[in-house]
Amino acid sequence: MPSLLDPIPNSPFYSTPSYNVSTPSGSLILGTGLSVTPQGVIVGASSLGGTVTRVTAGPGLSTNGTTTGGMLTTIGTLYLLPPQGANLGGVKAGANVNIAADGTISVATPGTGTINTVNVGTGLTGGGSTPTITINLSTASTTQFGGVIVNPTGGISVTGGSISLTAASPTQVGGVALATPAEAINGSNNTKAVTPAGLAAKVASTTAPGIVQLSDNASLTSSVLAATPTAVKTAYDAALAAQATANAALPKAGGTMTGVITFSSSQTFPGVAFPVATTLSLGVVSVGPGLAVNSSGVLSTSNVGTVTAVTAGPGLGSPASGNTISTSGTIRLLAPTTDGLQLGGVKAGSNINIAFDGTISVPGSNFIASNNPFAFNGYIFPAPLASPSLPFPGTDGQVLTVLDNVAGTVGWTNAGTLQSVTAGTGITVVSTPTTATVSLTTVPSITPGNYGGTALIPTLAINAYGQITSTGLANPFTPFQTPTITAPFILVLDFTTNDTNWQWTLQGNTTIQNPLNAVSGQTGHLLITQNPLVTYGLVWGTSWKFQNFAPYSGNSTLAAVDLIEFTVVAGNYIIVTNIVENIG
């Protein structure tokens, strides 16, 4: 159909047709991971072959961020826990320990030096500074560590620097050996002490005296327990009740039951066949795989197994797509591939809304599609027009006529008679008394290439032949970049070519050094995102200056997003002009 979106094939603006989705304000531009079918349906490119329906957190992982283990069956988060016992886990750098960017752990090199001062701790006296330092033991007490003097008559002896107990006797304080259970039962050794275990071993029986335990339980058949009056009373009451039950029991000869009969769970009925339940009648059922019955007779589903390995499929990574986690690891969502064939995670960009249920939509009714990532100098695409009426593309004797001056549409009609043809710009006309041949004038060629990149503000021009040319001016609005890391975690910002916008998610306590190649008059922004699991702090180089001499040290809220604005006064003097915290 001839329109601004699908021009006549010999037009210099002609391009190969492709499927698109039109809105009242123009064509909808789709991002990576989405495509349009010939019927105008937006679909996500995917080659998934299966779906994990259950994930069990193994050693070192947690589904609640506190305790090891747990299971995800719908939506949730896997957390890395610190090591617990023999389990693996995540670690972070402590005192005298370094962790490199690739995860290598090393111990800091010990320092050397000369001791000039000694401070004494608990149980010691003296200390001080050089040249002479004396340290002595404090006198020990019930509340103070220190040195002691051994009393030779107190049951303690010292030989060769070793302290030992002297043997105890009826007239001497000292250590005493403990009697074995057999010695306690025999009762013939008066030099050893009886332990609770030895005392417990001297148990009375029907053939030997000893310790006997009392019992209130009248139903036991033990020969080592003694019945209490309570047990005797229980047996007596049971006998009276049994006599009363026997008197009221149904005789073997038969009779009439007047109450409810209750059977125990272990009751069997030999020779009796119970009806089996069907979809149409009541009856008994048996519990199959995946089902369980509790002590109250309630039927429920049971756990049928545990996922032992998870492979990251298309659109997921651990860290890359196709990797398998068999012990511990993290599955993350990957971005869609740029070829439009692979699903992936997306986030809302300019002129895009994502609802809570994941629906992507364009806000408002006047969406302007632009090929420029900035809010200026965009290219506006007109709304699609309806197809012209037949005949199309025309028959002999018809003329090509402008149908709508506003919409810019043309079509073949019978209206009017061609008298003359005037050649306009880019058109050549060869006329005879009966015909006129119209052809396009050869236009000068333009070398293909990219004009007006990310770092330029495009300036466009259209020449007499309808060709678009472009030049560019320096763009002061630089995109946000990720800084270089020289050590965990020291950030190096380079302001060369006016690169003054940076972003970073804290992975540990971080130092932002003095920037390289800072030039007076530059302005910029730092977008700082706090770690989602652990809060970390920030330290600044000496060139950064803050109001009231109070440097920004990081947000204490997990996953908080803050924006820091600054102005370069001099290469070594950068003023932080504003801090916007907790951006939602």
What is the bridge-based pairing of β-strands 544-545 and 573-580? parallel
**Residue-wise pLDDT tens digits, 305-314:** 667 788 878 8
User: Letter for the amino acid at 324?
Assistant: T
Average pLDDT, the chain: 76
How confident is the model over 295-305, as pLDDT tens digits? Answer: 777 777 776 66
Q: Give the β-pairing of 124-129 and 117-118.
A: antiparallel
Mean pLDDT of 312-317: 79
Tell me the pLDDT tens digit for each residue of 247-282: 777 777 777 777 777 777 777 777 777 788 887 888
- Give the 3-state secondary structure of residue 200: helix
User: In Å, what is the CA distance from 271 to each residue of 261, 275, 282?
Assistant: 19, 13, 20
Residue 443: how many other CB atoms lie within 10 Å: 13
Inform me whether the pLDDT recorded for 498 exceeds 80. yes
Which domains, and CATH codes, for the chain? 19-45+336-384 (no CATH), 50-80+309-333 (no CATH), 166-214 (no CATH), 387-418 (no CATH), 420-441+455-473 (no CATH), 484-580 (2.60.120)
Cβ(508)–Cβ(487) below 8 Å: no
How many Cβ atoms from other residues are within 10 Å of residue 478's Cβ? 17
- Give the integer Cα–Cα distance in Å for 539 and 513: 8
The pTM assigned to this predicted structure is 0.26
